[in-house]
Structures are given as C-alpha cells and as structure tokens.
Structure 1
Amino acid sequence: MSSTPSTNRRSFLARGAAIAAVPALATVAGGVLAEPAAADTLPDYAPIPPSALGPALNAQGYHVGRVEKNLYWVTDGTYQAAFLTTKDGVVLFDAPPTIGRNLQRAIDQIASENGVSNKVTHIVYSHHHADHLGASSLFGRDVVRVGHAETKRLLARDNDRARPAPDVTFETRRTLHVGGERIDLAWHGTNHTPDNIYIHLPAHETLMLVDINLPGWVPFHSFNLNEDVPGSIAAPAKAMAYPWKHYIGGHMGRLGNRQDMVVYQQYVDDLVENVKKALVTVDPTPFFVKYGNNTWAAVKSYQDAQADYAAAPVIKKYTGVLAAADVYTTSTAFIILESIRLDLGVDSQVHP
C-alpha cells in the first residue's frame, strides 16, 4: 500500500531533521568520500512500530500541540521543545536548532489562536548540549535564561554565542513563578550530563527530562552518549517518583507517558541482566589466542562478542515494541558492559 502525501512529507522532514542533528562528514583524510552510499547497499532494519511515530508535520516542518491546558510542545520529528503561555508572556523549555525559527512560528500560532502574548520572556535550559540549546540566541538578550549552575559553567567553557549562559541558576532546586504559573526545577545528580535537570509542571501533570527516555524508541547510539551510566540508569526511578501523566523526553516525534517509562526501565534492566551473564559466559581465550600480542584486536573482538551476546535476546524481545531495537541495542549493551566493569567493579579480578 502506498504512503499518503502527509506520511511521505512527515518521513522526509523527519529524515532531514535527523541528518541535521548529526555533523556532516564532508571529507575523510582531506579527500572527498570515494564510495558514496547507495540505498541498495545499505543494511536493512526492522520496520518502525506505528506506536513510535508522532503526528504529521506541517508544511514548515513542525508540529505543535497541546500537552495540558496552556502547556504546548513542538517537534520536528527528531527533536522536541515545549512552551508555556502565561499572562506575562511565554516560558520556553529548550531551543533545539533543528526546530530553529519554527519555535517562534509555533508560539505565534498558539498565541494567535488563543489571544495571548507571543513574547518569550524566559527560556529554561534542560542541560548545556548544543543540540537542545543551539537556537537560544534567536530570542535575543531581553530574555531571562534559567538553568543549573553547572550549565552556566559549562557554557562559559564552550563559549558558543548561540547558547547564552543562564542568568538565573540553582544548585539543587528552584521554583519559578511566571505569570501565575509554577515550574519546579530540580537536580537529582548527574545522569546524561552533569547538569541535566528535571522540569516538573505540577498543574499540567507533566515532567520534562531530556535525553534519558526517548518514548517509543531505544536510546540513541551508545546509551544516549550518557556521561554517567549508573546515574542515567537510576534516573527513570527518580522521574517516576514525581506525579505526572505526560512526559517530554526531548527527542523523536511523540510525547511519552508513564507506561513508556515502565517499558524503558524494563529494557535497560534486561540489558543489565544480560551483560552480567555475558561477563561470565563469553570465553576470552580464543580471542587472545587468535590475536597474540595485538592486545587491542583481542580485547575488541572479545568485548564485541560480549555485547552481541547481551544484546541478542533484548533485540529479539523488543523488536516491534521499541523502534530501532536492532539498530542501537548492541552499542548500548557495550556502554553498560563497560560501566558494570569499571563503575561497579563486576568481573574485576585481583591478580593472585
């Protein structure tokens, strides 16, 4: 059955956003890539479950929708932001560059429909990464930017004009009151980054926690590139301690819910369990016999085998449940493997 025009457009725009989110490889070793990829030579992956897909994008490449009451979210199919309209202006949560000027277009659309102000007065930063904040500078200097104290330090280090440092910072907790609305901000320890925060809007039954759970999908390459793996594994339980119905994860095309978090936690738990099995099951001997004094070749092959062993049953279980289970589960298994070895000390023997 052929796709509808809206589905084709949604798919095309989502692919464009995904491409924009990854640095382009123009040259290798100073030369143009000699062998460009061809569609018929690329690997095949399992179909994406329809439940993982979000709403269709409009002609300008975005979707804006109501989360709850006067809280809205914006997506380009790959990234997400949110905004709250108030009697004193708009509070924006993150500013991904792939959405870019469509953020203001989305705000203008909702403001026009509801007869409220379209002026962004505050931007709340979830964390310092450019892929979530790179459009912040579009909103000028006359905006109060709010974030964790570590976010300010890291942005000062990065010195990126596209990401002005926050004006208002906090260490552990901060409650914002803007235009009669309440926004609770909290830092519960490092996870994806040292500064990644929990953004809770109790009156809107919503939690925003970016780059932990991507509803409907497995984590991005290497467990979302999490800087603190144990902290990231612990983050969902901390999120579930909040009362919320809607979840904004910062990526992909749809909102999440509590069941999405339950499935994600089980996915990670299954990987942890299988990694621990791999550590005691996969025999290192043939790899070191094969590669002799080429230690890195032996270690690489051995750890690849461990990651494959841990990932295989998880891929089988979650294919059709979580999108791209067959794409990134093995790289996530490897990162969890290394964390279990290095952070938790599992399989760390003392030489006799």
Structure 2
Amino acid sequence: MQLFRMLSVFSLAAVGLACGHSHAHDEHEVVARDSIKIAPGPSDTQIQFAPLPSTADPVTINTTLGYFVGDLGGGVHWVTDGSYSNMFLVSTHGVIVVDAPPTIGHKLLYAIGNTTHLPVTHLVYSHFHADHIGGASLFNASHPTIIAHAETFSLLASPRDPLRPLPHVTFEDKYTVRVGNQTLELSYHGPNHTPGNLFMYAPAQRIALLIDVVFPGWAPFAELGIASFVPGLTAAHDVLLSFDFDVFVAGHVGRLGTKQDVLLQKKYIEDLHDSCASAINGGFNVTTAIGPTVAANKGNVWAEFKAYLRVAAQTCADNTTSRWLGVLGAADVFAFENAYRMVDSLRVEYDVLGPFSVS
C-alpha cells in the first residue's frame, strides 16, 4: 500500500485517466459506478443499451403456456421459458430430468406430462445453485433418485433447503445414468462456475450440457456468470469442446448452442483476460487515477484500493466492449461487472499484480 500512501499529497483537481481514450474519467464517475454498471448517468432502467444482434434471437415462447418444449430427437427434449432452460430424456422405463429451474417451475411438470406418461425416475443436479434446482421438490411425489457431484451434496447439506432435497447418489469423477434405453454421462473436471458443476453428455443423441458457463449468442451474465473460479471457467471451454456434440444446452437464454457458440465465447473470455491484464500492467496512470480518492480518504486503504480496482475494470471494459457489440448479445450490459471479476481473478488466481507485484 506504500504506493497509495505516496498519492496522499495530490489534490482533488489532479485527476484524469491516462488510458488512451478520448473521454476522461473523474473521481465522481468512479464513485458513481458503485450503482451504475457502465458509466455515470441515469439508472439502468433509463440507459439505452445497444440493440441485440440476431445471434441472441430466442425460440418463440407460447405466451399462453409460458414455455417452449423442443424435441432434440432420440427421446430427448429441452424446455425453456426464454431465460432458463433444462432437459429431460424419456426412456422405456422412466424419465431422466436434468435440473429444475424454479422460474419454469410447474410448467416443467406440464412439459414432461404432455410428452410422456412415464414417471420421473431420476433427477440430476448440474450444481447446487437454487436458480437451477430450486424447483426440485416439485418431483417429490415421484420419489426420483437424485444424482449430483459430492461437492454439490456438501454445499446443500448445510444449511438444508427443503426445496432442494439432498442427492441420493454422489460421485467424484464420473458417473453414468442408465435408465431403460437412455444413457447420460456425467463427469467432473474441477470447479468452474461453482465447485461440483457437471459436464453432462448424451452420447447417442450427441448433446452436451454445461450450466452457467457458456451463454449461446450472448455475452456472459454479470461477473462472468457469477463464476467462483475463473481459471476453471476458462478451461471449461476446452473441456466442453472435447465432447463430440452437435447440440449444446446451456441452462440460460432462449436458444440452444453449438460448438461455434462455445468457440466464440472462448474468444471473448480470452480477449477479456488479455484486456484486463493490459489494464493492470500499465493501462492507466495509477497516480493520476486514484490521487483524489487518496487525498479525500486519508488512511482509508479500502477506499484507495477500491478506486484502483474500479478504474482498472473500467479501462478493461472500455477496451473490450467495442469489439463485441453486434457479435454477442448484451456485450455492453455487464461489461463492467465482467471486467471487474476478471481483474480480481487476475490478481488473486493468476498472479497478475501490475504495480503491486514483487519488484
């Protein structure tokens, strides 16, 4: 923190971000970004974000039903409400369901019931997050065997949530679900979005599932999909591409994905990584950028470092976003949050420390 201490002699007037852009960022802007995602100004409800490209086009949702069921062939179906999605496999002896998003909720029961009269015998948890399995208790009546990774069991064990019943079967590396004529292969390759987040693959139908990592046609949700381990999230793209699939179910957005979607987001993540590393490694003048914060907050190292992180993230977001507008949907909406998460990851998970590295 010695670098910040030295900055305390600067006046509030001596601020300006040297990041190669035509616009300057003043200290008011840095503070404003606590509540404004991209730039100072009105609330998000008033910001006009860039138009969505055709890559983000969803399937058409029946407004009366409120959901869409797509037949992927070979007894496999996917369900979406336009924001969340999941999948189920109809076998000769019962139904395997992957996840139970609460936003789809009872509509998932209707989707399955309108497809087959066979009971749900197995329920797979992709990971422990409630927004993907918070509807699991809706299947309690059919008493399905719940399968998940051991990490997911541990994360659900305390505190207990009756809406997410504990798994009955857990595993560490690989597990194959076989019900009648259907096979679903589960594997774990380390933490990415969360610990315990599974790669899932239906080999007969050449369908892959990985939840909350790739967002087909869209830039990632905030903080890289609220990723718990960014290096694992980055590596997950190559792991996913090692599967021989034609169709990809992502758990979010109202469309399916392909290998091309995975490749495209991999390039986005790599670009974000490189842009944020450049920002940390001299992409802006630290003394000029945070001098006013130091001067206004004597001895408050949290305030000093917060200003540094936010300017680094904004520099990265500014440098990255323009390349992805019109390529991925909503590339501007969470540009700052995604850059902020990458900056933090680079500092603590990759050892890219810029002015705070060992000299």
Q: Same fold by TM (over 0.5)?
A: yes
Aligned residue in 2 for 1:153: 154
Do the aligned partners of 2:136 and 2:163 also contact (CA within 8 Å) in 1?
yes
- Indicate whether 1:318 and 2:324 are aligned: yes
Residue 137 (structure 1) aligned with residue 137 (structure 2): yes
Unmatched runs of 5 consecutive residues or more in structure 1: 1-37, 112-116
2:348 aligned residue: 342
Instruction: Determine the C-alpha separation between the residues in 1 that align with 2:323 and 2:115.
Output: 41
Q: Identify the residue that residue 303 of structure 2 maps to in structure 1.
A: 297
Q: TM-score, normalised by structure 2?
A: 0.83
1:53 Cα deviation from its structure 2 partner: 2.2
Q: Supply the distance in 1 between the matched residues of 2:278 and 2:121 (Cα, whole angstroms).
A: 52
User: Is 1:85 equivalent to 2:83 in the alignment?
Assistant: no
* Paired residue type of 1:285: T
CA contact (8 A) 1:222 1:331 kept: yes
Judge conservation of contact 1:287–1:299 (CA < 8 Å) in 2: no
CA distance 1:41–1:245, change in 2 (3 Å): closer
Partner of 1:221: 222
Give, in whole Å, the separation in 1 of the partners of 2:121 and 2:223. Answer: 36
Query: Partner letter of residue 57 of structure 1?
Result: I
Match of 2:268 in 1: 267
Q: Tell me the amino acid that sits aligned with residue 318 of structure 2.
A: A
Higher RCO (Cα < 8 Å, 6 or more apart): 2
Query: How many Å apart are 1:345 and its aligned residue?
Result: 1.2
Distance (whole Å) between structure 2 residues aligned to residue 238 and residue 350 of structure 1: 31
Residue 69 (structure 1) shift? 2.2
- What is the aligned residue count? 310
- Which aligned pairs between 1:1-352 and structure 2 lie closer than 5 A? 42-58=46-62, 59-111=64-116, 117-140=117-140, 142-280=143-281, 281-292=283-294, 293=298, 294-347=300-353, 349=356
Q: In terms of mean alpha carbon deviation, does 90-99 or 301-310 score higher? A: 301-310
In structure 2, distance between residues paired with 1:350 and 1:236: 29
The one-letter amino acid paired with 2:111 is A
| Partner Cα distance (1:200, 1:43) in 2 | 40
Q: CA deviation at 1:49?
A: 1.7
3-state SS of 1:151 partner: helix
Assess if the C-alpha contact under 8 Å between 2:56 and 2:328 holds in 1: yes
For residues 138-173 of structure 1, what are the alpha-carbon distances to aligned partners after superposition, in whole Å with 9 as ceiling and x for unaligned? 111511111111111111113110110111111100
Q: Within 1, Cα distance between the matches of 2:45 and 2:327? A: 27
Give the secondary structure class of the aligned counterpart of 2:214: coil
TM-score (norm 1): 0.84
Q: Residue type of the partner of 2:314? A: D
Pair 41,83 (structure 1): closer, same or farther in 2 beyond 3 Å: closer
Rounded to whole Å, the distance in 2 between the matches of 1:190 and 1:289 is 38
Contact 1:288 1:295 in 2 (8 A): no
- Does structure 2 conserve the Cα–Cα contact (< 8 Å) formed by 1:287 and 1:298? no
Residues 176-207 of structure 1, C-alpha deviations (whole Å, 9 max, x = no match): 11112111100000111111000110101111
**Cα shift at 1:299:** 2.3
C-alpha separation in 2, matches of 1:79 and 1:287: 40
- What SS class does the counterpart of residue 101 from structure 2 fall into? coil
Given that 1:197 and 1:209 are in contact with CA atoms closer than 8 Å, whether structure 2 keeps it comes out as yes
How far apart, CA to CA, are the structure 2 residues paired with 1:299 and 1:284?
11
Between the aligned partners of 1:121 and 1:85, the Cα distance in structure 2 is 10
Q: Report % sequence identity.
A: 38
Bigger Cα displacement from structure 2, 165-174 vs 283-292 = 283-292
**Change over 3 Å in CA distance of 1:161–1:40 after alignment to 2:** closer
Any stretches of 5+ residues in structure 2 without a counterpart? 1-41
User: In the alignment, residue 59 of structure 2 is paired with which amino acid?
Assistant: P
Q: Name the SS for the 2:238 alignment partner.
A: helix
Q: Give the superposition deviation at 1:282.
A: 1.3
Q: Classify the secondary structure of the residue corresponding to 2:178.
A: strand
1:290, 1:298 within 8 Å by CA — same for their partners in 2?
no
Give the letter for the 1:234 counterpart.
A
